[in-house]
Amino acid sequence: MKHWKNSIAALATTTMLSVSAPASAQDKHEIYTLLPHSSLSGVIDPHMSDRSGIDKALPEAPGQYGDKLQIGWTEITLGNPWFVGVIDVAKEKAEEYGYELDVQVADGDPAKTSAHFDTFIARGVDVIVVDPTDLASAAIDAERAVEAGIPVIALGTVPDESPIVTTVLFNPYGNGFTAGQYVAQQYDKDQQINAATLIGRVGNSTAESRVNGLISGFIYERSQQLGLNWSKEDAMLEGFNRFQELNKKGSFHADAVNFSVLAQGVAHWTEEGGLDATEDFLSAHGDTLDVILAGNDFMGIGAIGALENQNRSGDIKVAAAADGFRVALDLVQSGDMMVTALNSGTHTGEGVLKLIHEIFDGGRDANNLPMGSYYTPPQIATKDNVAGFIDEDDSNPFFKYEVPEFRTIEEIRH
């Protein structure tokens, strides 16, 4: 794969969305007291707890498996190319390492995920990989696996506190937050902005954190423009509360920053879902909408299609919180999509296999990785910088990248 050169220097200094650590635990801002939360995946408590005392069923030495390492993988869906990219590269890396990989697809059903765990535990696989559909169920499933002596690695969403080794993912909240800041920068500070949001699935941590991040980043940037003297944490808390209001009531109005979200559509991470939901937005709010904030590229592409169908292209902008697919990068370059953030499926799949290889064959001590690991620094692609992310290798459906190193809690703190 080509290297994602723009990220290498940043990877050496930061891995998660955080701000300066407070002087003591008593100074902890309220936003950190809400962790872990399904809409704050990617936000790290500066005082996060050590996890080395949690039994994770990790091997005591390298090479502790049979002729072939057996990996049981339960994937949430293969419903769009991001997930396909995860599995395709995971299979390639498993073959390279000489591992046997069994992939099962849950189709968004927590009961299927749990059944996959039952099957893998009965077979006695060496490690289980889960892309959680439901956080609480995934935590319980992980506990059962660890009790059976099988370590669990997650991806995509951060499960509730559980004995998983870590969760491999890009920073959902951080990417959304950074994209939301950029969106706010495109408008005059006194202009009332009316948005609609496209979310993959309510209750899914990645989906909720991206949209919450978009809202919170917009609010933070606008608060700075208006001189409201809010800290980043203050704006994050305001965005969090507004996002909860959006989920409960279907809209919110943040008068202090001249920002409203008039509607939210559940679009299942797909182009078709984004198109259908945007058609509903246009029917109900077409005369007042300024921008559609999408949780991923494909929902955003669907929104662009709906706008084109009704000759509204350019009247209403579209921004995405992920994923940096080549097709979305082209849309950013042409000006049809305002911004997207970077989140590679192939990057993620390769990262999971890299960690498994380090643990089972390299003797890596993975006992004190954070619940959410491998967060790359939030980065966005805009018309000004998108050319630098486009890979000359046409076989890469995403942007240029390099898999970063996994960092322990001690390394992150220091």
HEC per residue, 260-305: EEEEEEECCCCHHHHHHHHHHHHHHHCCCCCEEEECCHHHHHHHHH
Which residues, including other chains, have CB under 8 Å from residue 201's CB and lie 6 or more apart? 108, 207, 266, 268, 269
Which residues, including other chains, have CB under 8 Å from residue 156's CB and lie 6 or more apart? 76, 131, 132, 167, 169, 206, 348
Mean pLDDT across 239-265 = 98
Higher pLDDT, 99 or 371: 99
Candidate from 80-89, 154-163, 218-227, 333-342 with smallest mean pLDDT: 154-163
Give the Cα separation of 258 and 274 in Å (integer).
Answer: 25
pLDDT(4) > 60: no
User: So what's the pLDDT on residue 414?
Assistant: 67
User: So what's the pLDDT on residue 376?
Assistant: 64
User: So what's the pLDDT on residue 411?
Assistant: 82
| Same-domain status, 282 and 305 | yes
| Same-domain status, 269 and 291 | yes
| Same-domain status, 221 and 158 | no
Give the Cα separation of 51 and 9 in Å (integer).
Answer: 27
Domain-located, residue 293: yes
pLDDT(59) > 90: yes
Which of residues 306, 341, 376 is at a domain's end?
341
| Same-domain status, 292 and 322 | yes
pLDDT range class, residue 26, cuts 50, 70, 90: low
Domain-located, residue 91: yes
Which pTM does this prediction carry?
0.78
| Same-domain status, 356 and 331 | no
Domain-located, residue 19: no
Domain-located, residue 36: no
Distances (CA, A) of 139 to 64, 99, 144: 25, 25, 9
Higher pLDDT, 102 or 413: 102
Mean pLDDT of the chain: 89
Q: Which two tokens stand for residue 237?
A: 């808390």
pLDDT range class, residue 49, cuts 50, 70, 90: confident
Give the Cα separation of 353 and 109 in Å (integer).
Answer: 24
Q: Which amino acid is at 346?
A: T
Higher pLDDT, 36 or 59: 59
Mean pLDDT across 150-174 = 89
**Inter-residue contact 363 to 403 (CB < 8 Å):** no
User: So what's the pLDDT on residue 291?
Assistant: 98
| Same-domain status, 325 and 354 | no
CATH number of the CATH domain containing 263: 3.40.50.2300
Q: How many domains does the chain have?
A: 2
| Same-domain status, 207 and 221 | yes
| Same-domain status, 202 and 313 | yes
Structural domain including 80 reads 70-170+344-367
Find the Cα–Cα–Cα–Cα dihedral 17, 20, 24, 26, rounded to 10°: -60
pLDDT(14) > 80: no
pLDDT(88) > 60: yes
| Same-domain status, 314 and 348 | no
pLDDT(375) > 80: no
pLDDT(271) > 80: yes
- Among candidate residues 192, 159, 175, the one with its CA nearest the CA of residue 371: 159
pLDDT tens-digit series, residues 283-310: 999 999 999 999 999 999 999 999 999 9
Which residues, including other chains, have CB under 8 Å from residue 105's CB and lie 6 or more apart? 74, 75, 76, 77, 78, 112
User: So what's the pLDDT on residue 47?
Assistant: 77
Which residues, including other chains, have CB under 8 Å from residue 336's CB and lie 6 or more apart? 304, 313, 318
pLDDT tens-digit series, residues 212-227: 999 999 999 999 999 9
For 131-176, strand residue ranges (E) read 152-155, 167-168
Domain-located, residue 403: no
| Same-domain status, 131 and 254 | no
| Same-domain status, 208 and 84 | no
pLDDT(228) > 70: yes
Find the Cα–Cα–Cα–Cα dihedral 50, 146, 360, 49, rounded to 10°: -10
pLDDT(48) > 90: no
User: So what's the pLDDT on residue 374?
Assistant: 56
Q: Which two tokens stand for residue 9?
A: 């220097």
pLDDT range class, residue 401, cuts 50, 70, 90: confident
User: So what's the pLDDT on residue 12?
Assistant: 30
Domain-located, residue 410: no
| Same-domain status, 164 and 178 | no
